[in-house]
Structure formats: C-alpha cells, structure tokens
Structure 1
Amino acid sequence: MVTLPNTPPLPGGIALSHLSPYDWQAADGVCGGSPHLHLVCTEAYVVTGGTGSVQTLSPDGYRELPLQAGTVAWFTPGTVHRMVQGEDLRITVLMQNSGLPEAGDAVFTFPSDYLDDPDRYAAAATLPPLDSPDIEAAARKRRDLAVEGYLTLRESLRAGDPAPYRAFQEAAARLVAPKAAAWRGIWERGALAAAQQTGTQLDALATGTAGDYLATATALSTDPLRLGGYGMCGRRDEYQLPSG
C-alpha cells in the first residue's frame, strides 16, 4: 500500500471492499450472507461478475433484486439486506461515510432477545481472528442466527404486518445509540470534510487562487490489506483506506 502524508480519502469519503457471497446453505435453502441493516450509511453494490440477488426488507415490503455483471444496486439506512449467491457472484461494495460500518453502524437481524442485551449481541456478532481454526464455524453460526431473525421479519412483512420489522429497526437504533458521538467525529473528518473541501476549491476558482490547491495534485493507488476475510455478506477483500 502507498502511504503518503495527508493522503486524501476516496471521493466523498467512501469505503470500498470486494465481496463474494457465502455459498453456505441456510435454513430456507438459500446460499448467501448474513442479513443486516445500516443505521446511517447507504450501501451500493457494483456487480463485476456472476449472478445472484439481494433480498431487502423495507417499508416497501419484501423485494428481491436480481444481480448480474453491470448491475448497480443500493439501499438506504434502515433497509435490511441479504446478499444471495447465484453463480460466482462478485461485487465491489461502496459504503457511505468511510469507517462507520466498521465502527458498528451495521446490525444483524438476530432474534429480538439478542438485540435487547448489548453484551449478548456483541458476543454473537464478534468473530475470532482470521487465523483461528474456528472462524468459519463461527461465521456460519453468526449467519444462521441472523437468518433466523430475518425469516421472522420477512414472513411478517409478507403477511402485511410491518410491526416486527419496525421493532427491529428501533431495537437496532437503541443498540448503537451510545456510539453516535464517536461516529460524528468519523463523519466530520471524512465525508463532511470532503464536501467542505469542494466548497473551498470552488471559492478558490471564483477568486482566481485555484493554483494553491492544484499545486498539490497527485495520484495514488493501493492493494487489498486483507484477502478473504469473513464479512457480513461473504468473503471480503479489505482495503486500508484513509478516512480523513
């Protein structure tokens, strides 16, 4: 990885990773990832190969969006999503607000008794180190627990009852609320700072002083920091990217 002083973040302060959904079969016969939602981040899938789908739960109800090479799908905060493996599905994930997902912005659809107990939730959501011989079994167990809660929410929505889904959203918000102050700092240093920098550049263009920031122009590149990690949706290639 190239490391430079004051390395700028990716455009808009986004985060990026590469994913291939798990091919483990769940209780409903579907192969795929761990259903979850994000509290303040919009997530986008850019499909680079293969086929599959993403299942979502939202006020729109239950939907299944087909995915194939060239598809771009995205979902806003509060949307439960489950990535489904078809055949060799490969996705580049773009995530709003740089490091917030890694700071706890994502909440699994575990059964409600886990959401009401922060310690129990954390124990079920946390995986052992990547080099642990138990990590795959732990990731499967976590995925299956999330699917268990997800199927209950999905069936209620299909039956016309949104109350369990809304209750899950509210429980997820309560679970992460203590982290909101720390998240604000990540957002201020990342996405907000990137937007404010554009404003500064526009001011410089208008006043004829653009040369000051154009003089710092550069090009950057990086490679994955870790290959094949066990993410929420599947095996994940991760990058160590500046977030501001």
Structure 2
Amino acid sequence: MTAAHPDFPGAVGLSQLQVYPWATADDEHGGSPHMHLTCSECYVVVSGRGRLETLNQEGHRVSDLRPGDVVWFGPGTIHRAINDGDLRVVVVMQNSGLPEAGDAVMTFPPEHLTPERYPLAASVVDSAGAPSQERARERRDLALGGFAELTRQWRCGDRSGYEDFCRAAARLVQPRLETWAGTVHDGALAAAQTSLRQIDALKSDDVSHLFEAVVTRIEQPSQQMLGMCGFLRAYDPVRRAGGSPAHG
C-alpha cells in the first residue's frame, strides 16, 4: 500500500505516550517491561515525571525522566516506564516504527514465551473482541512478574535468565523477520540512499530535488490505543493511511 504521506525524517516512527497510572505489585505505577530486537527507541519527555527501568548487558539501572530529558536505548534493552506523576513522552522509533509493528516481546515467564502461548498472553482483546484495559493490566502484571525474576537473577550474578529471554524472544519473532527486512529496505535504507543521491547531485551542481519539496501536516491522532507502556496515539498508521489509526 502506498503511504498517504511521505516518511518522517530518516524513516523514524513517532507516537505520543501517556504512561499508565496503574499501580503495580512492587508499589510503582506504569506499563509492561519489554524488549525490541532490531530497533533503537528514544523517549523525549514532554511533561510529568517518572523513571525508565532497564536491563541489558550493562546491567540493571534506573534513569530519571523529567520534562526536557531525552533517553534512548538500543535493541536488547528490556525497559519499563514508571509513572511518578502524569508522565507523558514522545517516542521516536527506528525503522518506520517497527517497535509498534511487531518488534517487541514482553518479559512473560518462560512458559509463556512459546508461539502457542505468547499471543494469548500478549493480547489486549477481551471475549467480546474489543480492546480492554483489564486485559492490558493482566498482561502488564504477567510481564512484571517475569521481569522481577530476571532482575533478581542479575543482582545475584546470574545473567542466564536474561540471555535465555533474548533467545526465546528471537525465536518468537522469526516468522516476522522477512517482513521487517522489507520495512527497513523500503524505509530507513531508502531514505539513506536518497540522501546520498542528493549529495551526489549537489556535487554536480544539480539542485532539482530542491524543487520537489513538500510540507506535510498530521493532526494529533484522535484514536487512543492500549500500548505496552501506556496509552498511545500513533502517527505512523495515520501517515500511511491518511486517516485514523486502527487498534493493533
């Protein structure tokens, strides 16, 4: 399908995120810990306050989130947004927003990290076929339980749980990898190649691409979705379809 609007700069993805205010078993508030396998992600804090809890090969750490802060992390980083007071961020994602189009695996306990059980645990759709905040809370709590065990093991000097989770996550996304490769090829790679062609053109005093410039505007998406970390307003579905995003 041809996009209704051109790619965002560098073929990134953009979403507004209002981190869940829901209380957790560890006396915090927030969303589901999860990991991306091929994409870096960036939080630009707009308002409120909170923290980003992470676990990767550097270890377990917590970063403060205050208005104006920018925090980013690479694939392999398990991350959890903690809401200490109306935390809102703009999320900038690599590869045309792949983190919200399948490149994400939540830290469910190992028995749920199978092709048969993971989709059911990850779904936010209720028995009536509608997105449900109750289901979003249930999957959040399940992911928090798995994350708590991974961080406990790490603090005890055992990183095998984290490594096993990475391998299980990689197995889960295997069926999507060819589609992801096409997204990167048509998005980020194509954008970089276009820039290189423009640079070569300028070397030859060819400015024709400057006469093809357009200005594009997208209003704030009206539809709010149940994301992993919080309530999402995603811009990429609007950019591609020229309308309102659908629940994913």
Say whether the fold is shared (TM-score over 0.5): yes
Residues 58-115 of structure 1, C-alpha deviations (whole Å, 9 max, x = no match): 1111100000001000110010000000111110000000142233110000010111
Distance 1:59 1:140, change over 3 A: same
Residues 134, 197 of structure 1: alpha-carbon distance in 2 compared, 3 angstrom cutoff: closer
SS at 2:223's partner residue? strand
Amino acid at match of 1:216: E
SS in 2 for 1:215: helix
Letter in 1 for 2:76: G
Distance in 1 (CA, whole Å) between partners of 2:130 and 2:189 is 40
* Cα deviation, residue 133, structure 1: 6.4
How big is the alpha-carbon RMSD for the aligned residues of Structure 1 and Structure 2? 1.9
After superposition, the Cα gap between the structure-2 partners of 1:133 and 1:198, relative to the gap in structure 1 and judged at 3 Å, is closer
Aligned length: 237
Aligned residue in 2 for 1:172: 169
User: TM-score scaled to structure 2, two decimals?
Assistant: 0.90
For 2:224 and 2:55, how far apart are their aligned partners in 1? 27
Q: Is the 8 A contact 2:224 2:233 kept in 1?
A: yes
Q: Distance in 2 between matches of 1:194 and 1:145?
A: 38
Deviation at 1:126, TM superposition (A): 1.8
Post-superposition offset of 1:54: 0.4
For the residues of structure 2 that align with 1:142 and 1:220, how far apart are their CA atoms? 37
5+ residue gaps, structure 2: 242-248
Is the 1:103–1:183 contact (alpha carbons within 8 Å) kept by the matching residues of 2? no
The answer for the alignment partner of 1:233 in structure 2 is: 229
Deviations 1:11-61 (A, max 9, x none): 110000011111111111111110000000000000011110000001111
Over the matched positions of the two proteins, sequence identity in percent amounts to: 44
- Select which of 181, 184, 207 maps to 1:184: 181
Matches of 1:97 and 1:72, distance apart in 2? 19
Question: TM-score w.r.t. structure 1 length?
Answer: 0.92
Runs of 4+ residues over 4 Å off in structure 1? 131-134
Q: Which runs of 5+ in 1 are unaligned?
A: none
Q: Give the structure 2 partner of residue 66 of structure 1.
A: 64
Q: Distance between the aligned counterparts of 2:223 and 2:14, measured in 1?
A: 13
